[in-house]
Amino acid sequence: MHDIVVLSDLHIGRGKNPETGRFHNLETFFYDDDLREFLRWAVNDARGRGTRIRLVFNGDTFDLLRTEATPEREASWREQHFGADPTPPVAAQLVAAILAGHPVFVEAVTDVLAHGSKVVFLPGNHDIEVQWKPVQDAIRQAVRERLLARRADVDEALSRLTFESWFVFEPGRIWIEHGCQYDSENAFRHFLRGRLAEEKFDAGLLELDLPLGNFFQRYLYNAFGPLTFMVPSTRANARYSRWLLLHEPRLLFRVIWSHLPFIWQLIRRLARKRSRERMILADAHRAELRDLSKSSGLGKTLEHIERLKMVRGDLLQAAREYSLQALRALSIAGAIALAGAGLWFTGFYAINAIHFGFGAKALLFLALNVLLLAAFGAAMAWALVRPSPPMSPRPQRRAAQEIVKLLDVPAVTFGHTHEEALWRLDRPWGGKAWLFNTGTWVAVFTQDEFLPRERVQLTFLRMIGHEAELLYWSPGRGEPLPVILLDEMDSESVAAVAEPSG
């Protein structure tokens, strides 16, 4: 029985610019050599136990969303400012450019294949285009060139490089998928779209099923420039703004300016009417779901899992979310201003009513202003440093528990949230099952967490036999170590633990 190694959320961008020798501005993945060393260790470790590995890249391996705008003059104004629309040919070219900018990553994948192990790519919300054959061909071509350079058996090795449109399922062992479908901000109504690569369609068609998180990333967050961290949620608005104010205040003007075209794109999206174009997406999704139900042997069970997705089909969701965030910020600022004005006038009239001399009143009035300024400063500091609400784990936990109930597997693993996690689940016939979240290989915020860990966690899941473990790769030690996780006993966690399992 082969070992299973799962990585997710590498978010590999365009890498180094060959003309400048420096990384492109929106790159976040700088760990190619660490990844290659880790995969060498995984292959050799499995070989020492007389087996091989099945390496699964569980979505958002490539970041086709966080990319630089297209400089070509013939591109549309929108593409020049927000990047090329990801049609199959454009996505294939972009993936080829990403792999050219990360040659060590290609070598790492080639190492695994050359040693007789398997490699599987799954799509995520930032690289859903991995489902398309032109994109898969671009990946195969890059690996083929490295295999030829090694004079390896190219066809035999490439037969072990595969692409799945949704999940990897090994009965009795594990269910693997990216997990964005259980996040209402990042779920696609029509996730399966491999068949679209065979059809001609207008690039604007894909925006009809663009999740809110993807929309914000392309039309807003990319304008923030070279920040080496990512937060996969629209709740990151306040977090990004606070970080910029504390570390790069001059960039705030750039961010404010970026809101103007963003608002136009928001209006443009909301103005699109429901049309027959949507049926192209719906038909492609349903046809592929039928085929996948048959080929996987899951039948109606797969359709049940598909209905667990957290889709909000309302186009006004984007406007509501953005407006609520702006309204919340204005309400807090207004409340602070009103409270400060009220206290100032109250203190002013109270001081005037006191029968003291002018000097004493002046000192009291000065003290009042100092206290109010201190209170205002404290309120601003609290607004800047207060933690943002984390992404709730409950939708993923509920989906994982239902998957365990339907398939009776001891392990379910997702990615997407960028937070490594371990949650206890219940198997239908008794015994334990576990939900693992494999975190990310790019920088994350850690100032809100009291954990002894690095800002970059090179986390992965390894399953030997039927036992899975969440680990992280330590480049300094040249070996993996257990991920440090603490029991979470806040109100939401207690409520989630108390939920019935079935």
Gap between the Cα atoms of 253 and 255, Å rounded? 5
CB atoms within 10 A of CB 79: 17
pLDDT in tens, 64-85: 988 877 666 666 777 777 777 8
Q: To which residue do tokens 């800002």 refer? A: 455
CB atoms within 10 A of CB 478: 11
Those residues of the chain that have pLDDT short of 70 are 70-75, 227-244, 246, 251-252, 254-275, 312-326, 328-329, 358, 361, 380-393, 445-455, 488-502
| E strand or H helix at 480 | strand 479-482
Report pTM.
0.81
91 and 131 Cβ atoms separated by less than 8 Å: no
Computed over its alpha carbons, how large is the radius of gyration of the chain? 26
CB atoms within 10 A of CB 21: 7
152 and 114 Cβ atoms separated by less than 8 Å: yes
Gap between the Cα atoms of 413 and 407, Å rounded? 14
Residues 6+ apart with CB under 8 A from 237: 216, 220, 325
Query: Coil, strand, or helix at residue 161?
Result: strand
186 and 211 Cβ atoms separated by less than 8 Å: yes
pLDDT in tens, 477-491: 999 999 888 776 544
Gap between the Cα atoms of 82 and 459, Å rounded? 31
Q: Which pair of tokens denotes residue 178?
A: 């990216």
pLDDT in tens, 217-254: 888 778 777 765 566 555 555 666 666 676 777 766 76
